[in-house]
Amino acid sequence: MLIMTPCILKTGTNTVMLVVLSLLLAACHHVAQPQATSTPLKKTVSQPAATAGNDADIMPAQPPSLEFEWDTGYSNFIAPPADIRKAAMESCKARGYDLSYMISMALNEGVARGLFGCRGPN
């Protein structure tokens, strides 16, 4: 009894598929490494310029910003860290609201920037 074993490289389509899969695996092998340094939390607050006419008028302090930035570490799971969520909640409470929620998020390499909103009784 003669046993015949099929050879993968006998047909042209199998050869092409083997080459394509090899190239695909070689291309997926390179993975970007996370940054060694982290970006500190940035808050953007603009202060109005004081003029001689406005010295008599006392302006109330502006509430903290609702835009925050954090380092993602090139993670697959992208969500604001606990300190960012807490800062957003404190910013909303300073405005008189109960809850904070994320409106939008932008990614740039290993850095995420989130814009939060507030809701609840005011």
The structural domain count of the chain equals 1
Q: Where in the sequence is the domain holding 112, given as residue range(s)?
A: 81-122
Structure pTM? 0.48
How far is the C-alpha of 108 from the C-alpha of 74, rounded, in Å?
A: 10
**What pLDDT sits at residue 115?**
95
Report how far apart, in Å, the C-alpha atoms of 33 and of each of 27, 37, 109 are.
15, 12, 11
pLDDT, one tens digit per residue, over 14-29 is 677 767 766 666 665 5
Report residue 22 as tokens.
């090899």
* Residue 61 covered by a domain: no
* Residue 53 covered by a domain: no
* Residue 42 covered by a domain: no
* Residue 94 covered by a domain: yes
Residue whose structure tokens are 């405005």: 95
* Residue 114 covered by a domain: yes
* Residue 87 covered by a domain: yes
- Residue 99 in this model has a pLDDT that exceeds 90: yes
- Residue 117 in this model has a pLDDT that exceeds 80: yes
- Residue 33 in this model has a pLDDT that exceeds 50: no
Does 5 or 119 have the greater pLDDT score? 119
* Residue 102 covered by a domain: yes
CA 63 to chain CA centroid, nearest Å: 24
* Residue 49 covered by a domain: no
pLDDT, one tens digit per residue, over 44-95 is 555 555 555 555 466 666 667 899 999 988 888 888 999 999 999 999 998 8
* 104 SS3 class: strand
**What pLDDT sits at residue 4?**
55
